[in-house]
Structure 1
Amino acid sequence: MEANTAAILTIDIDGWEGPLDLLLALARSQKVDLRAISILELVDQYIAFVDEARELRLELAADYLVMAAWLAYLKSALLLPRNPEETPSPDELALRLQLRLERLNAMREAGARLVARDRLGRDTFLRAAPEGLRVVRKGRYQAEIYDLIAAYGRISARTRPVMHVVAQRDVMTLEEAIERVSSLIGARIAWSTIESFLPEHASGAYRKSALASSFVAALELARQGRVDLQQQSAFAPLYLRASA
């Protein structure tokens, strides 16, 4: 006894994936918005396509025939007088079909956009390693003749050897002041101001030098115990006399 083997035949009609996909293609052929398609015209197109396919002796899948029967029922319900108690109404069924077609169209367009995107390894390629940015710096100087001369002067001043020249002038040394005060203090008994020990004709810078040297000489003689010093207040005249 031979066993009967049932074969499942899947037919792809012009690339369509099912009856709803075929309905979408037929609706697009009307060249209007899916929300404004004619359901009656769409039903006629679908049934005509199925009849033509059967005449060519093509084995149709059951879902195509079921869709054809349901569309024929929908067409008759839209043409015949409506029963108010019947739910859902034919208009609602047509609206549901229209919404399903719109949803399928949106999914097909989204899928087409995804397929059309650039693919890694075919349209775009990864780089092996990122390259660093190289910064090239170039200086731009703007200077006038005064700036150049001033810069040269500063550099020249830093490199030029430093020389200090002291102007020659008449001064009284500390040794001269000590000798003069020592010789004059022995001839005076009363207190005498320090200015009285200066040369008679001393003036200007030499008088200042003699006064400073005489002051230091008086301090040195007072340290040796040869001279007594007296001053009433700060910045008051300084008096000298020989020690008793």
Structure 2
Amino acid sequence: MADVEPTTGAASDPLWDDWEAPPRRPSSPVLHLDGFDGPMDMLLDLAERQRIDFGRMSILDLAEQFVAAMARLADRVTLEQRADWLVVATRLVLLRSRLLFPDSPEAAATAEQDAAAELRRLKDMVAMRAAGAWLQQRPQLGLDVFVRRPPTVPREGGYVALMEACLVVLRGTEGRPEEAPLYRPAIPDLWRVVDALVRIQLLLVEHPAGGDLAAFLPPVAEEATDRPLRARAAVASTFLAGLELAREGTLTLAQQVPFKTLQLAMAWTVASSASGTTHQTL
């Protein structure tokens, strides 16, 4: 029996060759793009849900592979199914075009700003690479150049050197090299917190009912050139001393109106005043 010539049909396709019966028709053409290998309908689903970086894929490769698949399967797939494939391919091209061209003036302005920022980043990267290359070409310590360290002289001593050192110590400062003077800042002669503590306690012993904060301030000479500074230091030190004594429970601080006169009094006189007993104030 003579061999029967095969029927002339579409171009050779490994998917359909070497089969006695054709396999199941594909539901969608298979694409091989940068970052994706699979059916075209799956690519559309992933792109619409933003589950894949569709912007990195070449629209030219997508179109060429789709046209080749349509030509290869033209006589094996129904017209209705090929029409569905064409709709899917059209939607893919539309999505890809939206990534290339903004759909509103606001999006265009944002894209322009992003592009300018990306250009600035690229310029900075080029500058940093140039600086790194320049530094790399500089002579490096330990590789291209070396430092000559001074030789270390071992310390040698003996009995005579020990006696000389002892003689210097016994003589005291005489014979020793002059030491660098120490920096000792001049402390101004101002009213201190320690002085304010003593003054407040002495005045409260004589006048337990206390008085205004100004009554516990020390006298400041009228002819003093730094009288404003001394007055401010006296007020600050007396106020801090009053807070410290109030914390210890020795006296009480009272102020009837905010930012007005501050009253200082012995702690036990407050309870006496509440019971009706009066005391002399400053």
TM-score where L is the length of structure 1? 0.30
TM-score where L is the length of structure 2? 0.27
